[in-house]
Copies of this chain bind each other. A is one copy, B any other.
Amino acid sequence: MKKSLGRKTIAYPLPVYLVGSYDENGQANIMTAAWGGVVCSEPAALGVSVRASRLTHSSILKNKAFTISFPSAKLVKAVDFAGLVSGSNYDKFEKCSLKAIKSDLVAAPYVAQCPVVAELSLVNRFDLGSHTLFIGQVEDVKADEEVLGPNGLEAEKIDPLIYFPSQKYFRLGDFAGQAFSIGLSRK
């Protein structure tokens, strides 16, 4: 018998995205977001939900572009800070000792220190209530050579950061199985 928790925004695991954009003055900014994910395969697209009050909201609309930088666990303090304050009050890149790289493909900056980044063109917005869901078409994904192996990205080399709705950050744990494979025995 399960216990009712009510109409909560509970889902897990949640990602930890650093959403990069330029504000109206051309200042590079990042915002930490846990509400987003892959939304489409063809065209490849990611979605991220942002409150209308956030500086990032107007920045994405103005530039019709954003990036998502995927932080590793060692950046946890910077990540948390970037979710606590507004880019209207702080130069978050400077405060976090992070370097902004201007994308060649879209009008948005990404975080040099994140091993993997996605550059996105805004193709849709859906106003869902408190949050606007921005749909970004993937123009490119870029990764540091050090996190790549013969089959692409290697989680163990990335040491990704994970968010859990108990307001806790976690690292990735043990390998639990190969997808599209471990379940075949049930056929």
Contact = CB atoms under 8 A, between A and B. Distances in A.
Contact of A11 (B11, B15, B41): B15
Top 3 A-B pairs, shortest CB-CB distance: A80-B183, A173-B173, A81-B183
Interface in A24-50: 34-47, 49
A3 B148 contact: yes
Interface of A: 2-15, 17, 34-47, 49, 51, 68, 70, 73, 76-85, 95-96, 116-118, 124, 126, 128-131, 133, 135, 138-145, 148, 151-155, 158, 160-187
A164 B155 contact: yes
B180 A166 contact: no
Contact of A180 (B43, B45, B80): B80
A142 B4 contact: yes
B38 A79 contact: no
